[in-house]
Amino acid sequence: MFESLDSSVRRVPVQTVVLGVLAGIITGIIADLLSGALVLGGALLSSLGFIALKSFVNKYLPSDKARVLPRAIILYLLRLVLICLVFLIIIFYFKNKVLAFAAGFSLVLVSVAVEAVRNLAGAKKWKD
């Protein structure tokens, strides 16, 4: 069960980028190229954020909690601040295009949902 979960976690960033490229192309055709680029940029940023979160969890979760916890909290808060700064920059420079960036950024949720459905459909038993 956990093997498929690990492969699902590896597939999520790739699926997010693929969805971002597709959504960016469609948005670029329907709306304008800047909106398409922002959708793609949001998908790339969320994919990088997912990879960073995965490595953060793999590095700090199994460690000695008493010693590592303050540093882990500071690094996680720094990650959140950086994401907020990127959003603020997008809002500052592209006031009318924030929704395009947010749509691309939220494509990671679609990828996670696809992997959840894939894992539930592949489960042979619902209960142990």
Predicted confidence (pLDDT) per residue in 52-75, tens digit:
888 887 877 776 666 677 777 888
pLDDT confidence tier of residue 121, bands split at 50, 70 and 90:
confident
Total domains in the chain come to 1
The answer to whether residue 128 sits within a structural domain is: no
Q: What is the domain range of residue 18?
A: 2-122
For the residues 22-41, what does the mean pLDDT come to? 96
Spatial contact of 46 and 104, defined as CB atoms under 8 Å apart: yes
Half-sphere exposure of 11 (CA within 13 A, CB side): 15
What is the C-alpha end-to-end distance of the chain, expressed in Å? 12
pLDDT confidence tier of residue 120, bands split at 50, 70 and 90:
confident
Spatial contact of 122 and 4, defined as CB atoms under 8 Å apart: yes
The answer to whether residue 70 sits within a structural domain is: yes
The answer to whether residue 127 sits within a structural domain is: no
